[in-house]
Amino acid sequence: MYSTKFTIYLIAVLLMSSPVVAHAFQGGDGDRQSGLNLETGYDANTVTTMAGRIMSVQIGDDHRNAQLELENNGVHAVVVLGPQRYWAEHGIALKAGDDITVRGSKAQGKDGVVYVLAQKITDTSINASVSLRNESGRPAWAGSGMGNGSGRMNNRPAQMRQSPGRMGGGRMGR
């Protein structure tokens, strides 16, 4: 009896300590999944305008931003609307099936999903629009005292994992 219990316990510990199985049992919040700074992140270099149809709207909660899924010619993107409380107070009524135009900073998360950190949304179905960020990308919910790099153009080089290049001695990171 004792040895059976011990064996089961040992196998359970080994299984749960295994990174593969542990990963399968663990969830993660949105930011951890995407690796992006969804709430205050913005980059003027990647600003684009997208038009499409809303597939779904997620109003979010205290820990997740409000966001919607946009589709255009088979291309899907997640449009981040900002904190749920801010969107509830200042947002416009959006629902699945509405045609909208979004201007914002586009990024691809490490989960492979394309995110658009919305600056302005226009619902062409009802001809309503809302601005969530100013032209430089500062979020409306960030307040006047926060200047955390919104709209940044001067990107930071990160570590490059290669040795110096073999194609004309090009610079390989710093």
**Taking a C-beta distance cutoff of 8 angstroms, is the pair 101, 159 a contact?**
no
Binding window for other proteins (CB under 8 A); candidates: 11-19, 66-74, 85-93, 121-129: 11-19
19 binds other proteins (CB under 8 A): yes
User: Which of helix, strand or coil describes residue 154?
Assistant: coil
∠5-9-12 over CA atoms, to 5°? 140
Q: Which of 46, 58, 101, 129 binds other proteins (CB under 8 A)?
A: 46
Q: Which is nearer to other proteins, 45 or 124 (CB)?
A: 45
Rounded CA separation 62/10 (Å) = 38
CB of 123 to other proteins, least distance (A): 23
**Taking a C-beta distance cutoff of 8 angstroms, is the pair 103, 94 a contact?**
no
Site residues (CB under 8 A) for other proteins? Answer: 3, 6-7, 10-11, 14-15, 17-21, 35-38, 41-48, 105-110, 112, 115, 117, 137, 149-162, 165, 167-174
